[in-house]
Structure formats: structure tokens, C-alpha cells
Amino acid sequence: MKEEGLDNATIRVMDHTVAVLLVYPDALVSNSGELTLGPKFEEGLYKALGALHRVLLSSDADIRFYVLVVSDPKIPGAYLTLVRYVDDIRRASANMLSTPEIFARTVFELNVSPATETLTIDQYVPRDIQLEEFLSWQLARRIQSGLDALQTKGLAQIGRCTGSFQDGEFVFTLDVASSKAEGINEETLREVFRISTDVIAGVLASYHFESYQQIRLIHPPTGRTLIFPKARLAIFQ
């Protein structure tokens, strides 16, 4: 990082995860309370990822994930978090993954901490990341992206979808509301569940991930829940 001129980078290694906190001027911009990427964000990201990839791809250390947290000294408490699975980076380097796919496999999040003091990397990334939780984060964002087609067609309003993994179960909450006063109809709701299930089945198959028992899809506005045991999910792959 210092070779790239990134003197304000803090690095921590936790079991199979490397966490980096990068303080980079003009990386982020806050306009009327809305947080966006700044004019120097791409420059800082390019330098940091270049250094990370060079080290991780040339090392025999068992590092499975990296987390890059970017902050701006002028906007304390604002952070962009990027999480990647190192095997995805290896596959992309070998031209086994397309550019759109590697971006789809990257977890991005812009957020503002309520804390008045700047967080340290130990506070922001307190422990090693597990594959199942990374997949739950990635899948929630890919489901939301897939459901955006319904909003484009005027069939629904898509909000933030969330995912988690606990006791062998993936749980995804689908923030999908009707674009009409009478509420979401049955046909649209079936399409919401179908799109979500297709995304989940495809991604888990691409990672060859089998360490789960079932998938639960929750649609809070209607109270509907759909549960797929692992064996049943296989028909969508």
C-alpha cells in the first residue's frame, strides 16, 4: 500500500480474511445528506485493489475474503465497504468470470455510522467472514437487482432486500410493494418468488455450495413465506 502512496491504510488479518481501512481524500461526497462516490474514489480504489490483488494472488496464505473500507477525512463516519471472495478474483484473473459477473459477485455498501468518532478497522470488521454469510449478502443484492425488472415494467416498487444465514437456513426478506393502490396481485407475487428462486439456485450452484438445508423467502407486506428444502431447490438449477 505504501508503494502506491496509500500511507493512510490500516490492515488487519483475521484467520482467512484481510481487512483494509483506506482513508482517501475526495473518495466520497455528501450532498444534502446523500452519500455518493467522490472524484478521487476510482483512483484510490484502483491503487488499493492493485496492491491487494498482487499480494493475495501471489501468496500461498489461506486468505478467502478481503474487505476494503474506504473513508474520506472530510466526511467522518461515512464509509464505502467492498467485500470479495478471493477465489472469485483468481477465476476472474484466469478469464473464467466475465467483468459483469465479477461485479455481481462483489458486495458494495455505502453507509454512515451513527458513531461520533471514526471507526477503526477492528471495530468495523470484528471477525473472520464465512462463505455462507458472504453468499447471503451477495444474493440479497442480486435478488434485488433481478426484481428491478418488475419496477421497470411498472408492476411493483422494489426496496432493499436483505439476507442472512443461520442454523443451515438462508433467509431473504423481499421488500416488494405494489405500484397500484389495490396492492400486489397474485401473479406478480409469484413472479417475485420465481425470480428470487432462480437467482438463488444459480448462484449457489456456481459456488458449488451445499452446506445448507433450506431457503426461506419472506414477503412482509403480504405475510407470505416460501420455503424450499435444498433437494427441491435443485430443480431450478
pLDDT value for 115: 62
Q: What mean pLDDT comes out for the span 8-13? A: 92
pLDDT value for 18: 96
DSSP 4-40: GT-TTEEEEEETTEEEEEEE-TTSEEEETTEEEE-TT
List for the chain the helix, strand, coil content (%; round to 5): 35, 30, 35
- Whether the pLDDT of residue 196 is over 70: the answer is yes
Instruction: Region of 148 please: left (phi>0), alpha (psi -120 to 50) or beta.
Output: alpha
124 vs 141, higher pLDDT: 141
pLDDT > 90 fraction of the chain, expressed in percent and rounded? 74
- Whether the pLDDT of residue 153 is over 70: the answer is yes
3-state secondary structure of 126: coil
pLDDT digits (tens, 9 = 90+) for 75-127: 888 899 999 999 999 999 999 999 999 999 999 998 887 765 677 888 888 89
pLDDT value for 215: 96
Alpha helices in 157-229 (DSSP H): 186-206
pLDDT value for 235: 67
Q: What mean pLDDT comes out for the span 178-200? A: 89
Number of H helices, E strands in the chain: 7, 13
pLDDT value for 233: 79
